[in-house]
Homo-oligomer: A and B are copies of this chain.
Amino acid sequence: MTESGASARERIVAGAADMISRRGLNATSIRETAKHARAPLGSTYHYFPEGKQQLVTEAVRYTGEWTTRSLRKELQAGPVAGLLAFLALWRKIVVDSDFRAGCPVLAVSIEEPAAGQTSAALAAAADVFAAWEGLLADSLREHGVEPERAAQLATLIVAAVEGTVAMCRAKRSTEPLDRTAEQLRTLIRAAVEG
Protein backbone atom coordinates (compact mmCIF):
# COMPACT_ATOMS: atom_id res chain seq x y z
CA MET A 1 0.00 0.00 0.00
CA THR A 2 1.55 3.27 -1.11
CA GLU A 3 0.83 6.15 1.21
CA SER A 4 1.25 9.82 0.40
CA GLY A 5 -0.35 11.70 3.18
CA ALA A 6 -3.64 9.88 3.23
CA SER A 7 -3.95 6.93 0.91
CA ALA A 8 -4.76 7.73 -2.68
CA ARG A 9 -8.01 5.89 -2.30
CA GLU A 10 -9.06 8.00 0.66
CA ARG A 11 -8.04 11.19 -1.09
CA ILE A 12 -10.25 10.28 -4.01
CA VAL A 13 -13.25 9.59 -1.79
CA ALA A 14 -12.84 12.77 0.22
CA GLY A 15 -12.33 14.79 -2.95
CA ALA A 16 -15.43 13.30 -4.51
CA ALA A 17 -17.47 14.22 -1.43
CA ASP A 18 -16.22 17.79 -1.65
CA MET A 19 -16.92 18.11 -5.34
CA ILE A 20 -20.40 16.62 -5.00
CA SER A 21 -21.14 19.07 -2.21
CA ARG A 22 -20.34 21.91 -4.59
CA ARG A 23 -21.53 20.86 -8.03
CA GLY A 24 -23.97 18.11 -7.31
CA LEU A 25 -23.84 14.47 -8.23
CA ASN A 26 -24.14 14.50 -11.99
CA ALA A 27 -21.82 17.41 -12.57
CA THR A 28 -19.04 15.66 -10.69
CA SER A 29 -17.05 13.66 -13.19
CA ILE A 30 -14.68 10.86 -12.38
CA ARG A 31 -11.95 12.53 -14.38
CA GLU A 32 -12.07 15.73 -12.40
CA THR A 33 -12.38 13.85 -9.17
CA ALA A 34 -9.16 12.04 -9.99
CA LYS A 35 -7.43 15.24 -11.00
CA HIS A 36 -8.59 16.96 -7.83
CA ALA A 37 -7.07 14.13 -5.78
CA ARG A 38 -3.92 14.13 -7.89
CA ALA A 39 -4.59 10.53 -8.75
CA PRO A 40 -4.61 9.11 -12.26
CA LEU A 41 -7.87 8.21 -13.89
CA GLY A 42 -6.78 4.60 -14.17
CA SER A 43 -6.46 4.38 -10.41
CA THR A 44 -10.03 5.39 -9.91
CA TYR A 45 -11.33 2.37 -11.71
CA HIS A 46 -8.77 0.26 -9.95
CA TYR A 47 -10.03 1.28 -6.53
CA PHE A 48 -13.68 1.48 -7.49
CA PRO A 49 -14.27 -1.27 -10.04
CA GLU A 50 -18.02 -0.71 -9.92
CA GLY A 51 -17.49 2.77 -11.25
CA LYS A 52 -19.07 6.03 -10.32
CA GLN A 53 -21.90 4.45 -8.39
CA GLN A 54 -19.46 2.90 -5.97
CA LEU A 55 -17.36 6.01 -5.62
CA VAL A 56 -20.39 8.17 -4.90
CA THR A 57 -21.74 5.70 -2.39
CA GLU A 58 -18.45 5.67 -0.54
CA ALA A 59 -18.29 9.45 -0.62
CA VAL A 60 -21.69 9.65 1.05
CA ARG A 61 -20.71 7.12 3.68
CA TYR A 62 -17.44 8.93 4.26
CA THR A 63 -19.27 12.19 4.91
CA GLY A 64 -21.71 10.38 7.14
CA GLU A 65 -18.98 8.85 9.22
CA TRP A 66 -17.14 11.96 10.22
CA THR A 67 -20.22 14.08 10.74
CA THR A 68 -21.74 11.33 12.84
CA ARG A 69 -18.57 11.05 14.87
CA SER A 70 -18.59 14.78 15.50
CA LEU A 71 -22.27 14.87 16.36
CA ARG A 72 -22.02 11.94 18.76
CA LYS A 73 -19.13 13.52 20.59
CA GLU A 74 -20.76 16.91 20.99
CA LEU A 75 -24.07 15.42 22.10
CA GLN A 76 -22.36 14.19 25.24
CA ALA A 77 -22.72 17.75 26.49
CA GLY A 78 -26.46 17.61 25.87
CA PRO A 79 -28.82 18.11 22.93
CA VAL A 80 -28.46 21.87 22.74
CA ALA A 81 -24.68 21.61 22.61
CA GLY A 82 -24.99 18.93 19.96
CA LEU A 83 -27.26 21.07 17.87
CA LEU A 84 -24.96 24.06 18.08
CA ALA A 85 -21.94 21.98 17.09
CA PHE A 86 -23.84 20.47 14.18
CA LEU A 87 -24.83 23.92 12.99
CA ALA A 88 -21.29 25.19 13.43
CA LEU A 89 -19.96 22.32 11.36
CA TRP A 90 -22.11 23.21 8.38
CA ARG A 91 -21.64 26.90 8.84
CA LYS A 92 -17.90 26.44 8.53
CA ILE A 93 -18.27 24.49 5.30
CA VAL A 94 -20.55 27.11 3.81
CA VAL A 95 -18.47 30.08 4.89
CA ASP A 96 -15.06 28.60 4.13
CA SER A 97 -16.19 27.79 0.62
CA ASP A 98 -17.61 31.27 0.08
CA PHE A 99 -21.13 29.80 -0.11
CA ARG A 100 -20.17 27.31 -2.79
CA ALA A 101 -20.22 24.07 -0.83
CA GLY A 102 -22.96 22.37 1.12
CA CYS A 103 -23.93 18.87 2.10
CA PRO A 104 -23.09 16.04 -0.31
CA VAL A 105 -25.70 13.83 1.30
CA LEU A 106 -28.42 16.26 0.35
CA ALA A 107 -26.98 16.58 -3.14
CA VAL A 108 -27.18 12.86 -3.71
CA SER A 109 -30.69 12.74 -2.30
CA ILE A 110 -32.17 15.02 -4.89
CA GLU A 111 -30.83 13.51 -8.09
CA GLU A 112 -33.01 10.80 -9.51
CA PRO A 113 -31.38 7.39 -9.90
CA ALA A 114 -31.08 6.13 -13.47
CA ALA A 115 -34.24 4.64 -14.92
CA GLY A 116 -35.73 1.74 -13.03
CA GLN A 117 -32.86 0.90 -10.76
CA THR A 118 -32.57 1.90 -7.14
CA SER A 119 -29.35 3.62 -6.28
CA ALA A 120 -26.93 2.40 -3.65
CA ALA A 121 -25.84 5.99 -3.14
CA LEU A 122 -29.39 7.03 -2.37
CA ALA A 123 -29.70 4.26 0.18
CA ALA A 124 -26.46 5.42 1.76
CA ALA A 125 -27.87 8.93 1.98
CA ALA A 126 -30.97 7.62 3.72
CA ASP A 127 -28.74 5.80 6.19
CA VAL A 128 -26.83 8.96 7.00
CA PHE A 129 -30.01 10.90 7.64
CA ALA A 130 -31.26 8.08 9.83
CA ALA A 131 -27.99 8.05 11.79
CA TRP A 132 -28.19 11.75 12.52
CA GLU A 133 -31.83 11.49 13.52
CA GLY A 134 -31.08 8.52 15.73
CA LEU A 135 -28.32 10.29 17.61
CA LEU A 136 -30.41 13.38 18.16
CA ALA A 137 -33.50 11.45 19.20
CA ASP A 138 -31.48 9.36 21.66
CA SER A 139 -30.03 12.44 23.25
CA LEU A 140 -33.41 14.09 23.53
CA ARG A 141 -34.94 11.03 25.16
CA GLU A 142 -32.07 10.82 27.60
CA HIS A 143 -32.94 14.34 28.60
CA GLY A 144 -36.54 13.54 29.32
CA VAL A 145 -38.28 14.12 26.02
CA GLU A 146 -40.92 11.52 25.29
CA PRO A 147 -40.00 9.14 22.46
CA GLU A 148 -42.40 10.24 19.76
CA ARG A 149 -41.76 13.89 20.28
CA ALA A 150 -38.02 13.19 20.34
CA ALA A 151 -38.20 11.42 17.00
CA GLN A 152 -40.23 14.23 15.45
CA LEU A 153 -37.89 16.85 16.78
CA ALA A 154 -34.84 14.98 15.51
CA THR A 155 -36.28 14.80 12.02
CA LEU A 156 -37.18 18.47 12.12
CA ILE A 157 -33.66 19.39 13.17
CA VAL A 158 -31.95 17.42 10.43
CA ALA A 159 -34.34 18.67 7.78
CA ALA A 160 -34.06 22.27 8.92
CA VAL A 161 -30.28 22.22 8.97
CA GLU A 162 -30.07 20.70 5.50
CA GLY A 163 -32.57 23.14 4.11
CA THR A 164 -30.95 26.08 5.80
CA VAL A 165 -27.54 25.30 4.36
CA ALA A 166 -29.04 25.31 0.89
CA MET A 167 -30.80 28.61 1.56
CA CYS A 168 -27.53 30.15 2.72
CA ARG A 169 -25.91 29.18 -0.55
CA ALA A 170 -28.68 30.70 -2.63
CA LYS A 171 -28.70 33.92 -0.62
CA ARG A 172 -24.97 34.04 -0.15
CA SER A 173 -25.61 34.86 3.48
CA THR A 174 -25.46 33.11 6.82
CA GLU A 175 -28.59 34.79 8.03
CA PRO A 176 -30.80 31.75 7.48
CA LEU A 177 -28.45 29.75 9.68
CA ASP A 178 -28.63 32.35 12.41
CA ARG A 179 -32.41 32.36 12.37
CA THR A 180 -32.80 28.62 12.24
CA ALA A 181 -30.25 28.19 15.01
CA GLU A 182 -32.14 30.51 17.28
CA GLN A 183 -35.48 28.82 16.73
CA LEU A 184 -34.16 25.30 17.06
CA ARG A 185 -32.29 26.17 20.22
CA THR A 186 -35.33 27.50 22.01
CA LEU A 187 -37.36 24.61 20.67
CA ILE A 188 -35.01 22.01 22.12
CA ARG A 189 -34.74 23.86 25.38
CA ALA A 190 -38.48 23.95 25.76
CA ALA A 191 -38.78 20.25 25.01
CA VAL A 192 -36.07 19.28 27.45
CA GLU A 193 -37.32 21.44 30.28
CA GLY A 194 -41.00 20.85 29.68
Interface of A with B (CB < 8 Å)?
A: 22-27, 100-102, 105-112, 122, 125-126, 129-130, 151-153, 155-156, 158-164, 166-167, 169-172, 175-176, 179-180, 182-184, 187
Contacts and interface: CB of A to CB of B under 8 A. Distances in A.
25 contacts: A22-B112, A23-B26, A23-B111, A23-B112, A24-B24, A24-B110, A102-B110, A106-B110, A107-B110, A126-B167, A126-B170, A126-B171, A151-B179, A152-B179, A152-B183, A153-B183, A155-B180, A155-B183, A156-B184, A158-B163, A159-B161, A159-B163, A159-B180, A161-B163, A187-B187
B26 A106 contact: no
Instruction: Rank and list the top 6 A-B pairs by shortest CB-CB distance, nearest first.
Output: A159-B163, A163-B163, A26-B27, A162-B163, A109-B170, A159-B164
A116 to B, nearest CB: 11
B109 A169 contact: yes
A108 B152 CA distance: 28
A53 to B, nearest CB: 15
A24 B111 contact: yes
Work out how many copies of this chain go into the complex.
Answer: 2
Nearest to A119: B170
A100 B162 CA distance: 18
Contacts of A176: 155, 159
Nearest to A162: B163
